[in-house]
Amino acid sequence: MLRRLTSLPRAPLSAVKASAFRRTIAHSAPVASSQLSSSNVVLELDAHKVGNEIRKRGLTSSVSNVRDGGMDRDTIIRLLYSLGSRHEVERYLRIFTSSSKASSGGVLPEAKFAVLKIGGAILTNELDDLALSLSFLNRLGLYPIVLHGAGPQLNDILETEGIVPDYEDGIRITDAKTLQIARRVFLQENLKLTTALERLGTRARPIPTGVFTAEYLDKDKYGLVGKITRVDKAPIEAAIRAGCLPILTSLAENAEGQILNVNADVAAGELAKVLEPMKIVYLNEKGGLFHGVTGKKISTINLDEEYDALMKESWVKFGTKLKIREIKELLDTLPRTSSVAIISTDMLQRELFTDEGAGTLIRRGHKLYKQNAIDAVGSTQLRQVFTERDPDVIAGRKSVAEIFSDMKHTPHTIYGDEPFDVVAVVSHPEGEVPVMTKFLPSRNGILNKIVDNVFDAIKKDHRRLFWTAKADDENRAWHFERADGSFTRAGRSLFWYGVPDVKEVEKIIEGFEATGRIERVFLPVGPSTPPHRLGSAAGTRAFSTSARQLGSRRGYATATNPPRKRVALIGARGYTGQNLISLIDNHPHLDLTHVSSRELAGLPLKEYKSSEVKYSNLSIDDVRRMEENNEVDAWVMALPNGVCKPFVDAIDAAKAKGGKGVIVDLSADYRFENDWTYGLPELYDRNLTRESKRISNPGCYATNTQLLLAPLMPYLDPAQAPSVFGVSGYSGAGTKSGEKDEEGRPKTVPKIGPSDLRGGIRPYALTDHIHERESAFRLSTLPSSPSPFSLAFIPNVAPWFSGIISVLTAPLNQSMRASNVVELYEQQYSGERMCIVGKGVPDVTEAEGRHGWRMGGVQVHSSGKRVVVVGALDNLLKGAATQCMQNLNLALGYDELDGIPLDKI
């Protein structure tokens, strides 16, 4: 979990002042000199790792009341920076805390942050992580209202006592005996969570009953099951006033004092209707809703736009349909600022405090509009928006009438959503570059990411755009993330996208200033007075970013965006080549300039949208000439084993004439060569890859095997070799040319398909598989490796398309517990964004279409000296194309994860 970084200062141990990950290092505020010490430790966060560190250092007993503020709140905020950018975390924290300051509807403001419904299984399996997550929120000054179930615990006890659970319409029939046991179980689980929080120094108040009043749902049919008729918020508010987290159960009472059982999801919904919180969070082990066909997690559901179509989907049925319908009915009664999140415990902070989130966010959403006239939108509503949000109107520099008058004299488009949470105005005179003159989001528009939807709509209509914002705009990070370049002077920042040539930028700005479309403050680009004097006078640090350097002028121009590089792909027909094309197409700094395929030569590359590219059939001489002329910055060899050597030799020969190209080879041809760098950044020194021109991309099985074995290397029994049983989707068996389509384009078909496998798996290459030799060869270079080292590997092909699941069985040289083994993996892969250490056995469907590697299912034999661990990845992505992109990024000087969708790791 801890990694030493000699270049970063560490705050005093008692305060645990820490940054985390690369992004935290980039965005964290400087630590005061009084806080520095000689030791340099950076904490890398996920919830249970930091929790272990807090417990280890004995900090839980020293936590003070969060209302007093102090170091604990600051510590947690700094730890949260590892989840997203500092600006994201602070923006969401500002929104959540502001919701806890303005009273509404007679509800205590602090009670309006979130209602958390927690499944009973989480109390059994993830109690420590849950308590830590809640403690984090409380130390930030937030008071989530916690309501928990206890279904699995109740079922276990009923089974032990010989009582068979009975259900009607999905509702548990509750007799007096069942209710007696349920009440006992709820009290036990309630106390268990409260105690876990108190151990962390977080005050919590158990409220098992007294909040919900109910009547019989149908006594004859369901027994002692209640329908909530009233919610009493007084016990909740009393707990918060005392500085305690309220911990509720779903037990209710009727007017006669009879305890009634109520479904916990229903109780959470009724509680939300009274409190009207910003967030209703359902914590479960799955961590979200999943698409019934693709198996992928659904990131966002906008009910206003998607509900009707979603409910007609064939896979939306039974419990899923009921859940979505209940959530819609709940949100229809709440303000549009409220949303529902379905998330796992360990991802709670990421869901709450980052733009990308981690689970499934369900919100009412809004249909977007774009209109060319004020009246078409509604002048009354627009006037209110401008009056409340426009900085010029608020400061008295302009009236709304003046702004409306200016808009009528210039062609423009107004973009926004129906409730006016975001309003943007784009001015676009004929033949001129568009300028976004107004961008006015509400707090809800930011929180629910409506700003992104509106900006995406603008971007679809305008291939290039300029806009300005105040240099101290609280959402300035949002602007920077969407701009190709920027420049700040005199307290304002100018942003643009779609104009890569800085000389053209300067020319456009001159035109803007001449016509008065933008304030006359941005030219000349290099200030006439010294930068430090101008920046000091303005009270704002001057800076700029740009896709390219701003000519010979320096001034404020720092040109932080790297130059673009050109990539040639040789061997593009296969599945790996197709995935790599998609990654390059979405890369911020790479251009795919050449794609070579003998069978497809002359045909357009339809999958690449960034520019027009046609397949070619590059010869060895073509490659040599291109390398001599440095027409390409990087070559990717996506060819079968034993084929690429002539191309590599041609590129090597061109070095004598100035060739500087990088090669990444996806075949096995150079994986055993010492003068090539083996590109598995998570295990072998990624700095070597940064400095290398010749990189061999690891095999798919070999990647999974090495990531599984590396943490265990010092603990392996040297007398017994570990074994790995691997199963891959049929895409891993390679492709062949099929029949041609109407364009004469041969279809790519698998060498082995589902029909060949007839629903089963097929073992092959049972000994001496090349990935067995590759894995053993590379792992033996690790300092922790036993010598000599060998392993056994048994590959199998299965009737699914992509995804590998490997089961490692490893004899150990000492007795270990499963928790010890899990800690080894957490330490090994702490800070590795592409590696996910889990608890349950990873399913191949979780890996398919994902760019990372995941492991879990750790079990230790009763002897303590044999461990079984399961790892999974997509053979076409982390096993090939994604790993190639990591290596290209490192070798070309970019961020390792550029171009890789971080929401699909």
As annotated, the active-site residues are 700
Report residue 246 as tokens: 């309220």
Report residue 260 as tokens: 């009634």
Three-class secondary structure assignment of 563-631: CCEEEEEECCCCHHHHHHHHHHHCCCCEEEEEEECCCCCCCECCCCCCCCCEEECCCHHHHHHHHHCCC
Phi, psi (degrees; rounded to nearest 5) at 7? -90, -5
Taking phi over 0 as left and psi of -120 to 50 as alpha, with beta for the rest, 188 belongs to alpha
Alpha helices for 655-724 (secondary structure H) = 686-690, 700-709
Alpha helices for 462-501 (secondary structure H) = 476-482
Alpha helices for 8-65 (secondary structure H) = 21-27, 47-56
* Helices and strands (DSSP H and E) totals, the chain: 33, 40
Distances (CA, A) of 344 to 122, 246, 348, 349, 468: 9, 20, 6, 10, 39
| CA-based nearest residue to 891, from 673, 635, 645 | 635
User: What residues have CB less than 8 Å from 617, skipping those under 6 apart?
Assistant: 596, 597, 598, 601
- Give the pairing type, strands 544-545 and 485-489: antiparallel
Report residue 27 as tokens: 């965005």
Q: What is the DSSP letter of 697?
A: P
Q: Any idea how long the chain is?
A: 905
| CA-based nearest residue to 747, from 892, 574, 594 | 574
Q: Tell me the HSE value of 453 on the side-chain side, using a 13 A CA sphere.
A: 23
Neighbour count for residue 266 (Cβ, 10 Å): 19
Residue whose pair of structure tokens reads 């009341």 in the numeric block: 65
Amino acid at 6: T
Distance CA 896, CA 247 (A): 43
Phi, psi (degrees; rounded to nearest 5) at 886? -55, -45
Distance CA 597, CA 600 (A): 5
For 376, counting Cβ atoms within 10 Å of its Cβ (0-12 exposed, 13-18 middle, 19+ buried), the class is exposed
Report residue 394 as tokens: 């608020």
Distance CA 480, CA 587 (A): 17
Q: Is the peptide bond before 788 cis (omega within 30 degrees of 0)?
A: yes
Element (H, E) at 425: strand 422-427
Residue whose pair of structure tokens reads 């007084």 in the numeric block: 234
Element (H, E) at 495: strand 492-497
Q: Is the peptide bond before 524 cis (omega within 30 degrees of 0)?
A: yes
Instruction: Provide the strand spans (E) within 143-239.
Output: 145-148, 167-168, 171-172, 204-207, 212-216, 226-231
Distance CA 338, CA 795 (A): 49
Is residue 517 within 8 A of residue 497, CB to CB? The reply is: no
Four-residue CA torsion sign, 457, 458, 464, 466: negative
Distances (CA, A) of 171 to 160, 250, 904: 21, 14, 36
| CA-based nearest residue to 16, from 51, 46, 68, 48 | 51
User: What residues have CB less than 8 Å from 56, skipping those under 6 apart?
Assistant: none
- Give the pairing type, strands 300-302 and 339-343: unpaired
